[in-house]
Structure 1
Amino acid sequence: MTDKDVRAAGLAALASLVADETRAACLLALLDGRAWTAGELARHAGVAPSTLSEHLGKLVAGGLLAEERQGRHRYVRLADARVAQLLEDLTVQVTPDDAARPRTLRASSAGSAMARGRTCYDHLAGRLGIAVTDALTERGLLRQDTGFALTDAGLRWYGTAGIALDRSARRPLARACLDWTERRPHLAGTAGAALCRHALEAGWCERIGSERAVRVTPSGARALYELLGIEREALC
């Protein structure tokens, strides 16, 4: 088999994994960056646990998910940040600009919360993610002209803000991730993950509901204004 044939076979195998709606629902749920039990995913996807187990087996075998067991529980998560990036990029491609409006108040509220602020695997997205990315760029802490890159001032800012930044990580320090609701890139990579982790641990943001939505707390709004000059209105 030639290299071309191998690539074609690999692409076809990947496409078949995400082509199933139940598996796609599980993958999108896991974009919250957390590990889920098989039972939680089965309820989320609306299928029987036995059916879900078969789907998870295929996703693990295909390298999209990683699994671990603790006692009687089986946990799964996305294999790595590259899988998350692939899913987010695909979501952008299949979500039309004029997507149908939610049919219920609950769906509308959930959609509004996700658009306002959410986690995209391990970094911030939605209007919150864009506001942070824009503020970093406007202050010369992040460059976007030749791809995303933290400046020297940006590296110092992370230290001043008390945000631990692992520069030895194999993933890019800063990477652009196209936001599927805002249609603009937000900050991902090691720097994006560190900022999101700090925001959650410091209480700047808190998760809401069962989806990936997050909201900025009053203390978070103060911190983002003091550190980046982000006005509260930009976070609503």
Structure 2
Amino acid sequence: MAGMEALAQLAALLADRTRAAFCEALLDGRAWTATELAAHARVAPSTASEHLSRLVSGGLLVEHRQGRHRYVALAGPHVAELLEAMTAFAGPAPRPRTLRAASAARALARGRTCYDHLAGRLGITLKAGLLGLGVVTGELAVTEPGLSWLRELGFTPSRRQTGRACLDWTERVPHLAGAAGAHLCGVFLERGWIKRIGTTRAVVLTPAGERGWRELGLTRAAASG
């Protein structure tokens, strides 16, 4: 019964459109201020504060105070993966009603960050390349040769699971999450191989990224996979 009660409480937290919008925005892996989230969801700051307090007390978000500002972020990658899986389970999103919304939806489907790793078609292409190179298995566990490959890119193993599957809500197949997925996303951003589109979590592979992926063998491996 305790498990059912916890599940009901979690469902209630995410059953509100404003709180769901906050969580979706925070899937970009960054910390947002309460004011920014209020503007994003088009609600009053007082309303945003109330909803954020519920999400923090429910364990989905964490908050940080810096001066007068209140920053919030997802409580960790486990929350991001839960949200991504729930969105995939919910089925296709309703058709966008405006050209702007349709353009934003297409950009997210092409490539985006799922908290700290890549998702969308770009994330699936990365997975295909890693599979082709033997970096990961079909279950997205990192192989021994794959660990050596990652170390050449500056990866250092930690207590966090190195590789794991995260269900992609637009592609409906898993992409790479875990420490390896986070490290690769960070490297690609740092090198300018991917860049964010505006303030959204949509990302695009840059010309430098196309060259970098070819040099790493990812492009050829993905095409032959």
> Which consecutive unaligned segments of at least 5 residues does structure 1 have?
none
The corresponding residue for 1:182 is 171
How big is the shift at 1:107? 1.7
> Which consecutive unaligned segments of at least 5 residues does structure 2 have?
none
Segments of 4+ moved more than 6 angstroms: none
Q: Verify the 8 A CA contact 1:37 1:76 in the aligned structure 2.
A: yes
Query: Does 1:115 find its partner at 2:72?
Result: no
Q: Verify the 8 A CA contact 2:130 2:218 in the aligned structure 1.
A: no
How big is the shift at 1:74? 0.4
Query: Does 1:59 find its partner at 2:55?
Result: yes
Q: 1:83 to 1:100 in 2, by over 3 A?
A: closer
The corresponding residue for 1:155 is 147
* Structure 2 Cα separation of the partners of residues 218 and 128 of structure 1: 14
| Segment drifting more, 204-213 vs 188-197 | 204-213
The corresponding residue for 2:119 is 125
The corresponding residue for 1:166 is 156
Q: Verify the 8 A CA contact 2:192 2:206 in the aligned structure 1.
A: yes
The corresponding residue for 1:30 is 26
What letter corresponds to residue 78 of structure 1 in structure 2? L
Q: Quick one: which of 185, 189, 199 aligns to 1:196? A: 185
The corresponding residue for 1:82 is 78
How big is the shift at 1:18? 0.6
SS of 1:177 mapped into structure 2 = strand
* Structure 1 Cα separation of the partners of residues 54 and 145 of structure 2: 45
Q: Verify the 8 A CA contact 2:133 2:218 in the aligned structure 1.
A: no
Q: Tell me the alpha carbon deviations over residues 67-118 of structure 1, each in whole angstroms, 9 at most, x when there is no partner.
A: 001111000000011111110000001132xx44323222222111111110
Query: Does 1:211 find its partner at 2:200?
Result: yes
* Structure 2 Cα separation of the partners of residues 229 and 168 of structure 1: 24
Q: Verify the 8 A CA contact 1:166 1:190 in the aligned structure 2.
A: no
Query: Does 1:230 find its partner at 2:219?
Result: yes
* Structure 2 Cα separation of the partners of residues 86 and 215 of structure 1: 24
Q: Verify the 8 A CA contact 2:81 2:167 in the aligned structure 1.
A: no
SS of 1:206 mapped into structure 2 = strand
Give the aligned length: 222
How big is the shift at 1:46? 0.8
What letter corresponds to residue 213 of structure 2 in structure 1? L
Q: Verify the 8 A CA contact 1:114 1:126 in the aligned structure 2.
A: yes
> TM-score, normalised to structure 2's length?
0.94
Indicate the RMSD between aligned Cα atoms, in angstroms.
1.5
The corresponding residue for 1:138 is 132
SS of 1:149 mapped into structure 2 = coil
The corresponding residue for 2:36 is 40
How big is the shift at 1:13? 0.9
